[in-house]
């Protein structure tokens, strides 16, 4: 978390002001204006596609058919949302997505945190090899395991069930989460653990009552990241699920495109519904989310 | 935190063998990953030597699946498109991500809003990204409407239906989502550079370009490594956005190795050939990253 260091930017700003004062007085406001102009236009350009789809979801089908997908809205209607929510099964698909995502996030954080706890807080034989092998699994292109995993799910009777998706997603993420949590737990002072063991706490108590509470920032960052990754997955769901009513929202929205081709107000509304949960998670966990992405990038 | 570092080593030496429960804590997750990821991965490699449709008897065919790629025109197209994807998508993500990170690195009024705008697409799924851009590329979509409005009507086309533009159109959509992510990585890297270095160069009279070329970029080396690895892996894994926008068409013009692998395995039920394609994706990922890592290490030794 040291990356999102609040002090550094202030130091940089403080340093930058000195030479600026030496320059002539009019250059600084000019530079600020140039910055806002360039950064602002990039940001607007980036935001425009999102605004476009939002606007489209509030138009009527007649308006889109008459004036084209790309015209400015000539109508306003909220009917697209209830239409896809019930009529096109978005409610069920969203529920499926949560039924997959929430257990997967909880399970993978639990499993990776116990592995990271053992590896970082005790002297385990081959700890380095175990950590690297686990991380390597995460770098594997998922395509390599698709066919065997589908076969395995079939033979275990789990094919076309949400459990299969939860199991594979959980295992596939373990390496990265363990790696990040290992790095975080290594920084926890040993005195705390020593004190706990003097007080008679066993391994599990030390993990649950001492180490885990201290990992909250890392767990929040990983949890938010994992939520969006798992919620947004398409490939594993397409491979392991077959029945439409079990599809998560990514797959459901995609099949909508085939069914409702041309009814762009409906497709846009479904797209907004599919994007909203991740946007909400992002806005709540914004700081730890971005910090989490940067974790491990700078070492 | 710095005071705890030396203590850790004494701690490691002091504890001779951890309680058995600790082994269970490490082994349970490890074995789960081994069973669900590594074992299937090995199986995938074994499958690539079979001819199998998933139902009837599997036949061992040795390297036939791999030999077949050489004469498979679709494989050649998919390989070429994957290379284009790697270079264009990877290259522009890298340069664009670095450029916006340099622009938005310092903390000043309003910078958070700009960063969020660039970063927001990253939280969307590739399916959502695909649908958003699909709307833009529609025959009556905003892109063609805009081109008509500024008098470039002859440029309008079916962006996703035209084999000449489909791949680039999909890449633009993927870039829209990726650049914010790469920006975050670079901003983190830029923040980790000791500001005294840049200030020293400034005092020595280095201009902005020289400070970038001789101080900032060399200091970013470790971040570059991470960014390039991420881009290579992402590029070779790319599936969702192509599958959602074009399914590899029109006329295979957007077929990537990953979409072709999915089609071979799950649509035309050639599990052996599909597995062989997956192994090729894996080998390319490992190969590109190892090549880059060794070069990066060789470079750093020369310094």
DSSP class per residue in A108-157: HHHHHHHHHHHHHHS--TTHHHHHHHHHHHHHS-THHHHHHHHHHHHHTT
In angstroms, the CA A173 to CA A139 distance is 10
Is residue A94 within 8 Å of residue A256, measured between CB atoms?
A: no
In angstroms, the CA A87 to CA A91 distance is 9
Point out the residue among B28, B36, B125 whose CB comes nearest to the CB of A234. B125
Residue A276: closest C-alpha in chain B:
B124
**Per-residue pLDDT tens over the stretch B85-96:** 999 999 999 999
Q: In this complex, is the C-beta atom of B153 within 8 Å of any C-beta atom belonging to chain A?
A: no
Regions in chain A scoring below 70 on pLDDT: 1-26, 295-299
Q: In this complex, is the C-beta atom of B128 within 8 Å of any C-beta atom belonging to chain A?
A: yes
In angstroms, the CA A279 to CA B120 distance is 8
Provide, as residue numbers in chain A, all residues whose Cβ is less than 8 Å from the Cβ of B275: 144, 147
For every residue of B193-229, DSSP letters joined together read S-HHHHHHHHHTT--HHHHIIIIIHHHTHHHHHHHHH
Q: In this complex, is the C-beta atom of B142 within 8 Å of any C-beta atom belonging to chain A?
A: yes
Regions in chain B scoring below 50 on pLDDT: 1-14
**R_g over Cα of chain B:** 24
The answer to whether the CB atoms of A69 and B141 lie below 8 A apart is yes
- Contacting residues for A132 by C-beta, under 8 A, at least 6 apart: none
Provide, as residue numbers in chain B, all residues whose Cβ is less than 8 Å from the Cβ of A16: 106
pLDDT of amino acid A295: 67
The answer to whether the CB atoms of B128 and A275 lie below 8 A apart is yes
B53 DSSP assignment: -
Smallest CA–CA distance, residue B134 to chain A, in Å, is: 10
pTM, entire model? 0.85
Q: In this complex, is the C-beta atom of B158 within 8 Å of any C-beta atom belonging to chain A?
A: no
The answer to whether the CB atoms of B120 and A279 lie below 8 A apart is yes
Residue A18: closest C-alpha in chain B:
B199
Provide, as residue numbers in chain B, all residues whose Cβ is less than 8 Å from the Cβ of A207: 25
The answer to whether the CB atoms of B274 and A147 lie below 8 A apart is yes
Provide, as residue numbers in chain A, all residues whose Cβ is less than 8 Å from the Cβ of B227: 297
In angstroms, the CA B212 to CA B144 distance is 39
Residue B189: closest C-alpha in chain A:
A298
Q: In this complex, is the C-beta atom of B41 within 8 Å of any C-beta atom belonging to chain A?
A: yes
Count chain A–chain B contacts defined by CB atoms under 8 A. 312
pLDDT of amino acid A78: 84
Provide, as residue numbers in chain A, all residues whose Cβ is less than 8 Å from the Cβ of B97: none
Provide, as residue numbers in chain B, all residues whose Cβ is less than 8 Å from the Cβ of A100: none
Point out the residue among A115, A231, A271 whose CB comes nearest to the CB of B132. A271
The answer to whether the CB atoms of A114 and B28 lie below 8 A apart is yes
pLDDT of amino acid A223: 92
Point out the residue among B117, B136, B189 whose CB comes nearest to the CB of A297. B189
pLDDT of amino acid B16: 56
End-to-end CA distance of chain A: 11
Residue A225: closest C-alpha in chain B:
B123
Per-position b or e across B131-153, b if 16+ CB within 10 A of its CB: bbbbbbbbebbbbbbebeeeeee
Alpha-carbon distance values, A165 to A253, A274, B200 (Å): 18, 18, 54
pLDDT of amino acid A296: 52
Specify the 3-state DSSP secondary structure of A107: helix
Per-position b or e across A203-231, b if 16+ CB within 10 A of its CB: beebbeebbbeebeebbbbbbbbbbbbbb
ipTM of the complex: 0.84
The answer to whether the CB atoms of B18 and A49 lie below 8 A apart is no
Provide, as residue numbers in chain B, all residues whose Cβ is less than 8 Å from the Cβ of A247: none
The answer to whether the CB atoms of A152 and B40 lie below 8 A apart is yes
In angstroms, the CA A183 to CA A215 distance is 11
Smallest CA–CA distance, residue B295 to chain A, in Å, is: 19
Q: In this complex, is the C-beta atom of B272 within 8 Å of any C-beta atom belonging to chain A?
A: no
Is residue A233 within 8 Å of residue B128, measured between CB atoms?
A: no
Residue B291 CB neighbour total at 10 angstroms? 11
Provide, as residue numbers in chain B, all residues whose Cβ is less than 8 Å from the Cβ of A170: 32, 36
Provide, as residue numbers in chain A, all residues whose Cβ is less than 8 Å from the Cβ of B191: 3-5, 8-9
**Helix pair angle (B64-71, B73-84), 10° resolution:** 80
The answer to whether the CB atoms of A130 and B7 lie below 8 A apart is no
Q: Per the structure block, which two tokens stand in for B303?
A: 């310094």
For residue B294, the Cα-to-chain-centroid distance in whole angstroms is: 20
Smallest CA–CA distance, residue A276 to chain B, in Å, is: 9
- Contacting residues for B160 by C-beta, under 8 A, at least 6 apart: B134, B137, B166, B169, B170, B245, B246, B250
The answer to whether the CB atoms of A39 and B103 lie below 8 A apart is yes
For every residue of B159-179, DSSP letters joined together read TTT-TTTHHHHHHHHHHHHHH
Specify the 3-state DSSP secondary structure of B59: strand
Residues in chain B: 303
In angstroms, the CA B251 to CA B257 distance is 15
In angstroms, the CA A159 to CA A147 distance is 12
Residue A281 CB neighbour total at 10 angstroms? 19
The answer to whether the CB atoms of B142 and A264 lie below 8 A apart is no
Q: Which of A271, A181, A176, A272 minimizes the C-alpha distance to A226?
A: A176
- The answer to whether the bond into B124 is cis (omega within 30° of 0) is no
Residue B102: closest C-alpha in chain A:
A39
Q: In this complex, is the C-beta atom of B51 within 8 Å of any C-beta atom belonging to chain A?
A: no
Alpha-carbon distance values, B205 to A17, B220, B241 (Å): 16, 21, 47
Torsion, Cα A99 A104 A106 A108, to 10 degrees, reads 180
Identify the residue whose tokens are 């806002």.
Answer: A36
Q: In this complex, is the C-beta atom of B1 within 8 Å of any C-beta atom belonging to chain A?
A: yes
Smallest CA–CA distance, residue A31 to chain B, in Å, is: 12
In angstroms, the CA B165 to CA B137 distance is 11
In angstroms, the CA B298 to CA B303 distance is 9
Q: In this complex, is the C-beta atom of B266 within 8 Å of any C-beta atom belonging to chain A?
A: yes
Q: Per the structure block, which two tokens stand in for A247?
A: 């599809």
């Amino acid at each position: 978390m040291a990356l999102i260091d609040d002090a550094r930017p202030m130091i940089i700003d403080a340093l930058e002001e000195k030479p600026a004062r030496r320059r002539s007085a009019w250059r600084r406001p000019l530079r600020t204006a140039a910055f806002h102009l360039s950064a602002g236009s990039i940001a607007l350009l980036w935001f425009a596609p999102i605004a476009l789809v939002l606007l489209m979801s509030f138009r009527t089908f007649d308006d889109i058919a008459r004036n084209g997908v790309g015209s400015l809205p000539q109508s306003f209607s909220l009917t697209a949302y209830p239409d896809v929510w019930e009529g096109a099964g978005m409610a069920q698909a969203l529920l499926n997505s949560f039924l997959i995502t929430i257990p997967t996030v909880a399970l993978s954080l639990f499993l990776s945190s116990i592995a990271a706890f053992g590896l970082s807080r005790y002297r385990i034989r081959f700890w380095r090899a175990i950590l690297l092998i686990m991380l390597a699994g995460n770098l594997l292109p998922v395509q390599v395991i698709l066919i065997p995993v589908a076969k395995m799910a079939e033979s275990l009777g789990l094919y076309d069930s949400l459990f299969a998706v939860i199991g594979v997603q959980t295992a596939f993420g373990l390496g990265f989460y363990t790696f990040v949590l290992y790095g975080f737990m290594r920084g926890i002072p040993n005195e705390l653990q020593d004190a706990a063991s003097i007080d008679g706490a066993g391994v599990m108590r030390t993990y649950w009552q001492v180490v885990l509470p201290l990992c909250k920032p890392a767990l929040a960052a990983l949890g938010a990241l994992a939520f969006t990754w798992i919620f947004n997955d398409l490939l594993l769901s397409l491979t392991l699920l077959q029945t439409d009513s079990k599809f998560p929202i990514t797959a459901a929205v995609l099949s909508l495109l085939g069914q409702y081709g041309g009814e762009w107000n409906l497709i846009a509304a479904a797209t907004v519904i599919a994007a909203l949960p991740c946007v909400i998670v992002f806005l709540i966990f914004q700081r730890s989310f971005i910090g989490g992405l940067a974790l491990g990038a700078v070492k | 935190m710095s005071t705890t570092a030396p203590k850790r080593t004494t701690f490691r030496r002091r504890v001779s063998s951890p309680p058995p429960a600790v082994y269970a804590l490490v082994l349970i997750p490890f074995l789960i990953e081994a069973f669900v990821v590594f074992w299937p991965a090995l199986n995938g490699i074994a499958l690539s030597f079979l001819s199998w449709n998933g139902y009837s008897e599997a036949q061992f065919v040795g390297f036939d699946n791999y030999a077949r790629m050489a004469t498979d025109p679709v494989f050649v197209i998919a390989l070429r498109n994957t290379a284009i994807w790697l270079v264009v998508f990877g290259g522009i993500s890298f340069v664009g991500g670095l450029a916006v990170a340099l622009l938005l690195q310092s903390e000043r009024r309003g910078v958070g809003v700009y960063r969020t705008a660039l970063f927001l697409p990253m939280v969307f799924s590739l399916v959502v990204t695909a649908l958003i851009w699909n709307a833009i590329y529609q025959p009556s979509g905003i892109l063609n409407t805009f081109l008509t409005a500024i008098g470039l009507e002859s440029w309008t086309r079916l962006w996703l239906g035209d084999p000449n533009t489909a791949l680039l159109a999909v890449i633009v959509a993927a870039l829209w989502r990726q650049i914010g992510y790469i920006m975050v990585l670079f901003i983190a890297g830029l923040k980790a550079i000791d500001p005294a270095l840049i200030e020293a160069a400034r005092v020595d009279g280095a201009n902005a370009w020289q400070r970038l070329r001789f101080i900032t970029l060399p200091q970013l080396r470790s971040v570059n490594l991470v960014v390039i690895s991420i881009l290579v892996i992402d590029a070779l894994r790319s599936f969702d956005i192509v599958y959602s926008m074009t399914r590899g068409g029109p006329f295979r013009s957007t077929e990537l190795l990953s979409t072709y692998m999915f089609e071979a395995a799950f649509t035309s039920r050639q599990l052996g050939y599909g597995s062989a394609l997956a192994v090729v994706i894996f080998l390319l990922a490992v190969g590109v990253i190892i090549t880059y890592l060794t070069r990066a290490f060789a470079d750093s030794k020369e310094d």
